[in-house]
Amino acid sequence: MVTPNIRSLADATNRDLKNRFRNRVIGAPKSAVPRFELYHAGASLCSHKVRTVLAEKEIPYFSHDMNLPGLALGVPENYRPSYVRLRMQGAVGATLVRAYSGRSSLSTEGFDPCVVPTLVDHEKSRVVIDSSRICKYLDEEAGTGPVLIPEALGEEVERQIALVDEAPHVALLYGAHPDGDRRPRLIVRGMTGIQNKKIKALESQIALVQNDPVLVSAYQSKISKESESLRFVSEPKRMNEVLREMEEHVAELDQHLSTHDGPWVCGERFTLADIVWTTSLFRMKWIGIGRFWEEDKGRCRVAGYANLAFQRPSFRHAVIDWPNAYAPSPYVPEFSTPLAWPRFFWRVLRSARG
């Protein structure tokens, strides 16, 4: 079997990614050729984790901020054959995703070949998939910045990463909240019927790769997952279960914070556990369930923690200030100013072209 050349697969992917606002070097002069190349998306929660790690460790990288379904005018960039082909090099032999339980975890759902983030390490000619794996990989490999998984805390950090990874965040974004849909307006509109739009876009790509059975089955697995997703989020009983689980998720953090006096999840030291929890709590706040800690005095430890964590410069750079990481939301001061809507639409417009 011929080993595919990662550089040529990346080059083929990049030929399809032209928008200069979304395809650029971060953390180094624009002519630099960094070791790492990241395929991600402004609004993707999994990408928020990886971008925050890169910022915290001050690792330069080539950023491809891809237009996912919802923002893309034509076929979403993450469905193009060149990208799927590259991504699949990070999961040779993995079980393809089919079912759906409202999560995006590799451990519970299997490998989704058509999502972000994907990291390419040009020095080692390696493709790394899955946000948790990428974060750990960067911490081990990059050789710069603070260590985010200190040896003494390794087990606890891993446990916290898994907790956040397996929380049903995706269902909360795609499905209406049955006790009164509090999701930001634009999300309610954008997510209605999105699975069918995704399926149509995926089918159009299958037509282009008929002679490549590996890619055809990759697209088919994604189609099955999206059909399951539609069924799942249309059932109020399941969505109630998701909300209950998310509230427990917050309660669990509060309980954990009560076991020590330090400001961070694992005590005195800022770790990867803080990066994943910060992205998770911020997503919950933006989507309208920050009440789980803001209105429940019994969870004041999470409230204090969130206030501190949201100010972390790496998180502000990689998420709050990242162009269009989040649509306007009435629950987040930064995203509910009078300028939030014009700024959002201006950035969408300049990013629209491929």
Ligand X SMILES: N[C@@H](CCC(=O)N[C@@H](CS)C(=O)NCC(=O)O)C(=O)O
Residue at shortest CB range from ligand X: 115
Residue 170 Cβ, how far from ligand X at the closest point, in Å? 7
Residue 149 Cβ, how far from ligand X at the closest point, in Å? 17
Residue 20 Cβ, how far from ligand X at the closest point, in Å? 22
Rounded to 5 degrees, what angle do the CA atoms 71, 75, 81 make?
130
Binding residues for ligand X, rule: CB under 6 A, are 44-46, 68-69, 76, 78, 104-106, 112, 114-117, 130-131, 198
Check if the beta carbon of residue 257 is closer than 8 Å to that of residue 302: yes
* Type of residue numbered 262: G
Nearer to ligand X, 78 or 351 (CB): 78
Q: Which two tokens stand for residue 223?
A: 């189609």
> In Å, how far are 20, 38, 120 from 32, measured between CA atoms?
15, 15, 16
Nearer to ligand X, 122 or 133 (CB): 133
Phi-psi domain of 27 (left: phi exceeds 0; alpha: psi -120 through 50; beta: other):
left
- Closest by alpha carbon to 213, among 120, 221, 74? 221
For 167, residues 6+ apart whose C-beta sits below 8 A from its C-beta are 103, 245, 246, 249, 280
Nearer to ligand X, 220 or 303 (CB): 220
Q: In what order do the strands lie in the sheet with 61-65?
A: 23-26, 61-65, 36-40, 118-121, 126-129
d(CA 238, CA 171): 9
Residue 230 Cβ, how far from ligand X at the closest point, in Å? 12
Residue 37 Cβ, how far from ligand X at the closest point, in Å? 16
Residue 219 Cβ, how far from ligand X at the closest point, in Å? 12
For 140, residues 6+ apart whose C-beta sits below 8 A from its C-beta are none
* Type of residue numbered 215: L
Residue 283 Cβ, how far from ligand X at the closest point, in Å? 10
